Structure 1
């Protein structure tokens, strides 16, 4: 807005909006700047560098990588990056991928469970009926790059875990308290998966685990506040000492 952009809000789901824009592509110089592979295959390849950066930072590949997943392109590209590193002899294993999705938009989870491998099968699945979600950054009826994501999950012996809005919003608080990070609900959802993996023994103290916090909480501040309004009060200046004593006690 500060630079004079013309902002338009479309009354449609992200999937329908992308579909409509794709149909208009090429008219009057219009191009689609979505992160989907169908819109820009080169952009999708850039996410491979996440794998490179992880290995550069750690010196090895993690055993498990947990990532929030919406369209599916990012986790597929990260896997491709690890495949390249393995072929180059830089790592000795592929990390097991754990995709985390909203419970109301669980098409990827159902597709993995039922053995779907192609676009016809994926996009032929019944759409979720969960309705609105605060996890809108990762909410797709049918993940546009879901076929690639499914292939990456299967090759890495991965899983898909799904969680509801309420748990994701609560996780925002937890991440802030425990890690000092302010992440959006669509990123905090990864911490829920970590809990589940610890509980079932997939992750233990010796498991080298990496989680991706993909989105700043500043993208979703209004959503978080609406879900959990903060407590506010007004005091006089001479009451400040009493207040601090009460909070500290």
Structure 2
């Protein structure tokens, strides 16, 4: 249950840290695990008009996943869990391992083949996590993680498998309103399954409900053109039935540098409907970018002193299309490049 009565765009007056600065926007937990995640910088981008970059790459383990893990691990402790299991392309692995260590829980990481995952998985092992590799892609790792769930073992895979992780992203909306001094017109988010996008949209809806934001921005989902099940479904029509048909049909996807968002949704296609509904409700859209466009965005960011992974650069590539003097746009840069090197 969400208690929105005391909610404002300002941080909690109780001087809480991490995601708990906006605890009124989150499901209540008795335990509050934090490594200081959240409150990441919002930087105005000089390469396009009225475009800001939300640097989620500056979280403790260098990705937005830390917000979700802070909440999910806190809830797991409340539930009496002894250990966690997570399927990951890399970012969630490092994050789950770090927060499990902070909470004194065991952690098992299941990872498939993914470009750029090696450094992230090594980081997870340094935190004490057990790493299991599976033949195949993220969808194969996802199924293995489902099988590992059981008494005392909580699955914190960051699709909608554990829906509480998406709730942690609500606070990003409050941070953006505070940083920009206004409600942005568009928020561009790189997505695999898409809980980050939905969580941000819900956060803006919370703020609108208490008069702290004027509206929910148009949410724009970005996928790599090489692995784009949500974009294919979006292009198939305007109704959930059309989306479901397209997602169920699958697709022939190829490899991409943007491994962190390369999720074919194979075996859990219906989860994509949640994200598509969130996009549609905000009058947003789903777009794709090529690996060449991602590389160009990475280079532009490097020239400005900002190092992100390819999946994060996808947001800037797409946001640059929409930047205008008439509207304000935010690109959410989801992960640092240091772990993808």
TM-score computed with the length of structure 2 as normaliser:
0.58
What is the Cα deviation at residue 3 of structure 1? 4.3
Residues 187 and 85 of structure 1, relative CA distance in 2, 3 Å threshold: same
1:132 aligns with 2:258: no
- 1:120-142 deviations in whole A, cap 9, x for unaligned? 91685322212221111001112
- 1:197-245 deviations in whole A, cap 9, x for unaligned? 2xxxxx3113111111110001211xxxxxxxxxxxxxxxxxxxxxxxx
More helix by share: 1
1:166 aligns with 2:292: yes
Aligned to 2:280: 154
Residues 2 and 91 of structure 1, relative CA distance in 2, 3 Å threshold: closer
What is the Cα deviation at residue 159 of structure 1? 0.9
Counterparts of 1:44 and 1:122, CA distance in 2 = 25
Aligned to 1:242: none
* DSSP-derived class of the 1:132 partner: coil
Counterparts of 1:155 and 1:174, CA distance in 2 = 32
Residues 45 and 3 of structure 1, relative CA distance in 2, 3 Å threshold: closer
Aligned to 2:79: none
Summarize the alignment of residues 1-249 of structure 1 with structure 2, pairs less than 5 Å apart. Answer: 1-26=125-150, 29-38=152-161, 40-113=162-235, 114-117=237-240, 121=244, 124-142=247-265, 145-177=271-303, 179-197=304-322, 203-221=323-341
For the Cα contact (< 8 Å) 1:118–1:147, is it kept in 2? Answer: no
Counterparts of 2:325 and 2:300, CA distance in 1 = 20
Counterparts of 1:51 and 1:6, CA distance in 2 = 34
For the Cα contact (< 8 Å) 2:188–2:219, is it kept in 1? Answer: yes
* DSSP-derived class of the 2:126 partner: coil
Gaps (5+ residues) in structure 2?
1-124
Residues 25 and 95 of structure 1, relative CA distance in 2, 3 Å threshold: same
What is the Cα deviation at residue 116 of structure 1? 4.4
Q: Tell which deviates more after alignment, 134-143 or 69-78.
A: 134-143
Aligned to 2:72: none
TM-score computed with the length of structure 1 as normaliser:
0.78
Q: RMSD of the TM alignment (CA)? A: 2.2
Counterparts of 1:119 and 1:73, CA distance in 2 = 21
Aligned residues: 213
What is the Cα deviation at residue 161 of structure 1? 1.1
Counterparts of 2:328 and 2:243, CA distance in 1 = 36
- 1:33-75 deviations in whole A, cap 9, x for unaligned? 211222x222221111111111122232101111111111110
Residues 3 and 220 of structure 1, relative CA distance in 2, 3 Å threshold: closer
Residues 174 and 195 of structure 1, relative CA distance in 2, 3 Å threshold: same
Counterparts of 1:83 and 1:70, CA distance in 2 = 22
Gaps (5+ residues) in structure 1?
198-202, 222-249
Residues 68 and 120 of structure 1, relative CA distance in 2, 3 Å threshold: closer
